[in-house]
Amino acid sequence: MVLASGVAILMLMVLYRPLLFATVQPETAQARGVAVRWVDLLFLLVLAVAVEAGALAIGALLSFSLMMGPASTAVHLTHHPGRALAGAVLMAWFTVWLALVLAYDTGLPVGFFVAVISALIYGGARCFAALRDAVLERRWRSA
């Protein structure tokens, strides 16, 4: 599992810039010589390795919850890819540790708390983003 995680992290480090370019502007990336199809394929392979490594330890549902929840939350909080990546990692870490503490104190399953905390953080981020966008639009219209 450590080897699979290390390979996934190493591959993401290698693929970060071309993957970001191919994700944001695929036509431009292809015109500039980025093999978009190969980048997409390699990213899917890295994702499969990461999900498999996580599924062995925590199960498929929690693996999905920990990959999608923090990432989708971070996208609503910032538009900067590096900050979104760091924020997603921190949110996943926070979610796991808070879920472990709550599960220890209550005797309920950790998976329940992971899913609930992830959903609550995501809902809060959506509300925050909506309020932020409304305030920014109001300022833009009044200017």
Assess whether 98 and 119 both reside in one domain: yes
Number of domains in the chain: 2
Per-residue model confidence as pLDDT tens digits over 26-40: 888 889 888 889 999
The answer on 46 and 105 residing in a single domain is no
Given pLDDT bands bounded at 50, 70 and 90, which one contains residue 20? confident
In this structure, are 36 and 65 located in the same domain?
A: no
The residue segments making up the domain with residue 39 are 1-58
Q: Tens of pLDDT along 38-85?
A: 999 999 898 888 888 777 777 777 888 888 899 999 999 998 888 998
Number of Cβ atoms within 10 Å of the Cβ of 57: 10
**77 & 53 share domain:** no
Judgement on whether residues 83 and 142 belong to the same structural domain of the protein:
yes
List, in sequence order, the alpha helices (H) in the chain. Answer: 2-24, 26-31, 36-58, 60-77, 81-106, 110-142
Whether 70 and 80 share a structural domain = yes
- Tell me what percent of the residues of the chain surpass a pLDDT of 70: 99
**Tokens 């998976």, residue?**
111
Tell me the pTM. 0.73
